[in-house]
Structure formats: structure tokens, C-alpha cells
Amino acid sequence: MNPVIGLDVSKGESHAQALRKVKTDAADAYQLGELFYKEELEPYKKRGQYLMNLRYLTRQHESLTSMYVQTKFQFQAVLDQVFPEYHGVFGDLYSKVSLRFLALYPTPQAVLAMSEKEVMANIQRLAEHVNPSCWSLESAQKLMVAAERNPFKETAFPSHLISLELIINLLLQYQEHLAKLDKSIEALAEELIEFDLIQSIPGIGTKVAATILAEIGETLLLTKNTRHQPSKNVPKSQVSPFNFERFSHLSQRSFSL
């Protein structure tokens, strides 16, 4: 057993460094004996393979997200050459409705060739769920105005249309893969009792919490009996779960359990 597990936080940073750097058999034996006497020992649960799966998924998610962002930049660059006024038509430029409509009608000429009712019907058809007719009508009106206001009356380079179609397909595929990874990561992370505890820290959501658990590994994994006893886990992580400070700065304070 690591003697740091039995470290008494109230003795301060000097005692912690002594246990880590200096051979102190008497001090180690005393701490381990005290733990055994109080019956505070917990069985070690090795979850290496489980965490490796979670780590692989979180790193794959990060890699795909990076490629997804780069593809967004390429999409905006090509869209500015074809249909720059398309920005702002939909609330989310990268929503499935927006991308699918642009894949079918990538130029202002294709939009103006339809009536407002036809544009509204196409938007309603491409939506995955039933949207209010007022939303579809408003989007159709914005789209018609944007097509009329577009500075490019004709597409100078047909190659831009080919690139736009390819990039839109890539964006939709990235969105699908990232959504699957999100579900898989959340399903794995929810099996760990530390997942909810880490999310209790302000500013940390599901993705960040899962990444922390995956990258830190066994260091911060708690057991059910020590979940609500932060003084036992502070020596392992050197982080206070209450005010997020190193325990060396809290040597003169007492934890309220």
C-alpha cells in the first residue's frame, strides 16, 4: 500500500514531502497501523481496461472535433465565394436543415428559381422534426431576401460548387460520428461514481469530466465509502474537492465533513 494513502493532512506539507522523498519506516508503519486499527482500508479496484476504453474514446472525440473545426473554416471560405448572404438565414449555420438545404440549392439562382411556398415546403421537409409553420415561413423569407441581396449573381468557378458539396457531406458525417462518440463516452463515464462528483465543480460538464477521468486514470478514482470523505482523497490528488486548492495550502485548516 502506498503510505501516502494514510497521510494525515493536518500535519502539513512538510510531512507529506517526508513521506514522498525520505525513507521513514516508523512513520509509515504508524500511519498504516492506524488505518488498519480504524478499519478504513478499502480494496483496490483496478479498472485499467475500462479506463483505457474511455481514454480512447475521449481522445478520438478530441481528434474528430479538431478536424470538424478545420472543415468548418474550409466551408466558410467556399461559402463566401458562392453564397455569402447565406450567413444568418438559419439560427445555426451548421444545423442539419441548413446544410442539407444548401447541398440541394447551393446558389442564389437555385433559390430564386423557386417560389416562397416551395422554399418553405423544402425547409419543412428537410427538418427532422415537425417545426412550426411560422418558423419555416420566416426562414423562407430570410432566404429569399438573402438570395436577392447576394453580390454574386452567377458562380464564377463551378469547382466551388463541387467543393461545397463535398465539404457539406463531411460536416454531416462528422456531426453523426461525434454524436455517437458523445453517447458512448457518457455511457462509459456514468458507470464511474466519480463522474457526478467531478461535474459538481462549476464549469465542468460531461465531456470535460469524462476526459479528466480518462486521462488521470486510477489516481483520483474513489470508492463508495470514501466518496464523501475528502480528507482521504486529498493526499492522492492534492486537490481539495471543496475549494479546488492544493492541500499544502490548507494545512492549517480543517475539513468539514
Question: What's the pLDDT score for residue 44?
Answer: 56
Question: What's the pLDDT score for residue 215?
Answer: 84
Question: What's the pLDDT score for residue 214?
Answer: 87
Using the 8-state DSSP alphabet, how is residue 100 labeled?
H
Question: What's the pLDDT score for residue 180?
Answer: 96
Question: Does pTM surpass 0.75?
Answer: no
String of b and e for 158-177 (b: at least 16 CB within 10 Å)? eebeebbeebbebbeebeee
Question: What's the pLDDT score for residue 4?
Answer: 52
- Measured CA to CA, the distance from residue 107 to residue 19 in angstroms comes to 70
Rounded to whole angstroms, what are the CA distances from 188 to 56, 96, 110, 211, 240? 11, 27, 46, 11, 25
- Measured CA to CA, the distance from residue 44 to residue 230 in angstroms comes to 17
Helices assigned H by DSSP within 83-205: 96-104, 108-112, 116-126, 133-149, 158-189, 194-199
Question: What's the pLDDT score for residue 217?
Answer: 65
| pLDDT tens, the chain, 257 aa long | 555 555 554 454 455 555 555 556 777 777 777 777 776 666 655 667 778 899 999 999 999 999 999 999 999 999 999 999 999 899 899 999 999 999 999 999 999 999 999 999 899 888 866 566 788 889 999 999 999 998 887 777 889 999 999 999 999 999 999 999 999 999 988 888 888 888 888 888 888 889 888 888 655 554 444 444 444 444 444 444 444 444 444 344 433 33
